């Protein structure tokens, strides 16, 4: 008898206990699971149109007395327009809001009732997880109000909000806003905001807004990961201040400007002041069939550290003429494009003081019908191109802004046409080429391959291991102008090259 009693006590600590409670107020379907003494979870099932549905705010706020509260929306469809309030949730523990495996529809039906605010002000080190939900038809009916579908408020940046397998579609107002207070840029080794395998379709205004409140702000304080997500036919995607955004294995198509014209937001917008920085890290992703009709680029930012790796841009254009517009005030490595492709796109960068590194990247079938350079139209900048290819390119200008230092290593140029004065034109800056193969390049007008203009300071033109054939230039191959310059020409071959006049035209005062 004593042995049986002892075994029963031990069993209480080993097996999971499931308690079914029915409250006196008529709230059904509340389950508590205790896995051990220290950790417990509670489950609440909410059906459409039951008592729980109309009292979900009270139910969620009053049942966070365990380590985790799990809210299950098990039906296929919920009409949120029947609610007469926003759902204001005080987060005190881990909370999971989960739809059924096929995706539970939350339909706002052209209204904003039923929107959710997660308030983390009074808690620390907790997470909210949202899973298997389809949020659709949210609207403020043309009125500007501070009401997004989901708002997150936190007094500290040690929280997590995770969206798994969710769909946001056919919404015509803001979707998610994060207002996060940090203690002078305090850094925690976590990713605060996560989107996994989510889809965004046919949304008319900004999708995700992130703002960091702090006297001293650090982009490492706010981290967001977007992984395996699809973005199709959206307007105004990411609006961030002082954050680190990583986009991995995502697809983007049909992007345009936020319908709220007070924001210059297309794909990414970060208008942070000069004292701050932000990071955008894009990898393993695809951008295609994008035609921005407004005079804005895909990215508009100040002091942005931009990383693009193993990513393709195909049939991506903007009426602005450039894909990216970035200005800097910091002397740091700014832009790194690696192992990527640009096919049938607008020109790349406009801005100021860029430091651009392009490696193992290919450019195909690009026609620029404006008098702007292909890679960078940014003064006081530097461009380095390594192990990259340019094929079937038609330009009215050259490769870079003239007030740019440029270097090319192991680069191929094939089937290039330009009506500019030169493909490479620098004014008071250096050009360095080591390993370049050129074939079927034509410069019309008064065009040369290189126009090297110097000032009072001595600049340097270095060309090593250059091989060029089957090319035509309506000017000299290299034109030298200005005061003082140093020219180094080593181990290079020209074959079947037609120029107007000499190969090198030297008008330097001192060389």
- pLDDT of 4 > 90? The answer is no
For 262-274, what is the mean pLDDT? 82
- pLDDT of 34 > 80? The answer is no
Which position has the higher pLDDT, 147 or 111?
A: 111
- pLDDT of 144 > 70? The answer is no
- pLDDT of 480 > 90? The answer is no
For 75-79, what is the mean pLDDT? 98
For 286-313, what is the mean pLDDT? 96
DSSP 293: -
Burial 106-141 (b: 16+ CB within 10 A, else e): bbbeebbbbbbbbbbeebeebbbbbbbbbbbbbbbe
pLDDT for the residue numbered 330: 63
Residue 329, token pair as written in the block: 């005030």
- pLDDT of 1 > 80? The answer is no
pLDDT for the residue numbered 119: 95
Single pTM value for the model: 0.89
- pLDDT of 201 > 90? The answer is yes
pLDDT for the residue numbered 273: 62
- pLDDT of 337 > 50? The answer is yes
Using a pLDDT cut of 90, give the percent of the chain over it: 64
For 297-313, what is the mean pLDDT? 95
DSSP 400: B
- pLDDT of 12 > 50? The answer is no
Distances (CA, A) of 236 to 49, 139, 146, 345: 34, 16, 17, 20
β-sheet bridge partners, residue 235: 256
Which has the minimum average pLDDT: 10-24, 134-148, 184-198, 441-455?
A: 10-24
Which has the minimum average pLDDT: 118-122, 140-144, 202-206, 401-405?
A: 140-144
Residue 299, token pair as written in the block: 């990215």
- pLDDT of 6 > 50? The answer is no
What is the per-residue pLDDT across 363-392, written as a single tens digit (0 to 9) for each?
999 999 999 999 999 988 999 999 999 999
Beta strands in 320-477 (DSSP E): 322-327, 335-338, 341-345, 347-352, 355-359, 362-367, 376-379, 381-386, 389-395, 404-418, 422-427, 431-443, 448-453, 459-473
Q: Under a CB-based contact definition with an 8 Å cutoff, are residues 508 and 482 in contact?
A: yes
Q: Where are the domains of the chain?
A: 354-511
- pLDDT of 79 > 90? The answer is yes
- Residue 178: name the closest of 139, 250, 132, 128 by CA: 128
For 342-361, what is the mean pLDDT? 96
Which position has the higher pLDDT, 509 or 120?
A: 120
- pLDDT of 224 > 60? The answer is yes
- pLDDT of 508 > 70? The answer is no
- pLDDT of 409 > 70? The answer is yes
- pLDDT of 216 > 80? The answer is no
pLDDT for the residue numbered 363: 99
Mean pLDDT of the chain: 87
> C-alpha dihedral over 356, 362, 368, 370, to 10 degrees?
10
- pLDDT of 155 > 90? The answer is no
Determine how many CB atoms are found less than 10 A away from the CB of residue 2: 6
Which position has the higher pLDDT, 145 or 80?
A: 80
Residue 330, token pair as written in the block: 């910091």
pLDDT band at residue 421 using 50, 70 and 90 as cut-offs: confident
- pLDDT of 122 > 90? The answer is no
Q: How far is residue 435's CA from residue 128's CA, in Å, rounded to a whole number? A: 53
- pLDDT of 76 > 90? The answer is yes
- pLDDT of 19 > 90? The answer is no
């Amino acid at each position: 008898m004593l042995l049986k009693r002892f075994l029963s006590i031990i069993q209480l600590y080993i097996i999971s206990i499931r308690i079914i409670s029915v409250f006196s107020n008529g709230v059904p379907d509340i389950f508590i699971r205790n896995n051990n003494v220290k950790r417990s979870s509670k489950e609440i099932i909410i059906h459409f149109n039951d008592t729980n549905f109309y009292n979900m705010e009270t139910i969620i706020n009053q049942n966070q007395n365990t380590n985790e509260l799990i809210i299950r929306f098990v039906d296929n469809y919920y009409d949120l327009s029947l609610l007469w309030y926003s759902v204001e949730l005080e987060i005190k523990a881990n909370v999971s809001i989960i739809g059924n495996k096929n995706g539970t529809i939350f339909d706002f039906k052209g209204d904003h009732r039923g929107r959710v605010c997660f308030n983390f002000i009074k808690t620390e080190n907790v997470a909210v997880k949202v899973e298997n939900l389809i949020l659709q038809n949210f609207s403020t009916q043309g009125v500007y109000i501070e009401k997004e579908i989901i708002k997150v408020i936190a007094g500290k940046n040690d929280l997590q909000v995770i969206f798994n397998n969710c769909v946001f579609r056919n919404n015509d107002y803001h979707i998610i806003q994060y207002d996060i207070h940090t203690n002078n840029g305090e850094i925690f080794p976590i990713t605060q905001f996560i989107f996994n395998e989510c889809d965004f379709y046919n949304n008319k205004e900004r999708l995700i807004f992130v703002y960091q409140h702090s006297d001293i702000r650090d982009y490492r304080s706010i981290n967001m990961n977007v992984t395996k997500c699809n973005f199709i036919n959206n307007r105004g995607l990411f609006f961030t201040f002082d954050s680190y955004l990583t986009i991995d294995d995502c697809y983007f198509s049909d992007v345009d400007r936020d319908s709220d014209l007070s924001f210059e937001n297309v794909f990414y917008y970060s208008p942070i002041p000069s004292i701050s920085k932000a990071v955008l890290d894009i990898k393993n992703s695809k951008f295609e069939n994008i035609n921005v009709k407004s005079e804005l680029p895909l990215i508009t930012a100040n002091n942005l550290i931009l990383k693009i790796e193993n990513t393709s841009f195909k049939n991506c254009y903007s009426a602005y003429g450039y894909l990216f517009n970035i200005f800097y005030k910091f002397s740091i490595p700014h832009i790194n494009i690696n192992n990527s492709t640009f096919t049938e796109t607008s020109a790349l960068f406009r801005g100021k003081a860029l430091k651009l590194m392009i490696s193992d990247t290919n450019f195909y079938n690009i026609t620029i019908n404006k008098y702007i350079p292909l890679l960078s139209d940014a003064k006081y900048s530097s461009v380095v191109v390594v192990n990259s290819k340019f094929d079937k390119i038609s330009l009215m200008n050259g490769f870079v802004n003239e007030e740019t230092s440029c270097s090319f290593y192991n680069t191929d140029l094939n089937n290039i046409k330009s009506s500019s004065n030169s493909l490479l034109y620098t004014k008071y800056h250096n050009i360095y080429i080591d390993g370049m193969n050129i074939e079927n390049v034509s410069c019309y007008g008064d065009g040369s391959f290189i126009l090297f203009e110097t000032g009072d300071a001595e600049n340097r033109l270095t060309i090593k291991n250059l091989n060029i054939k089957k090319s035509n230039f309506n000017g000299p191959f290299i034109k030298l102008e200005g005061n003082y310059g140093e020219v180094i020409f080593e181990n290079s071959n020209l074959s079947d090259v037609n120029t107007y006049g000499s190969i090198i035209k030297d008008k330097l005062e001192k060389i």
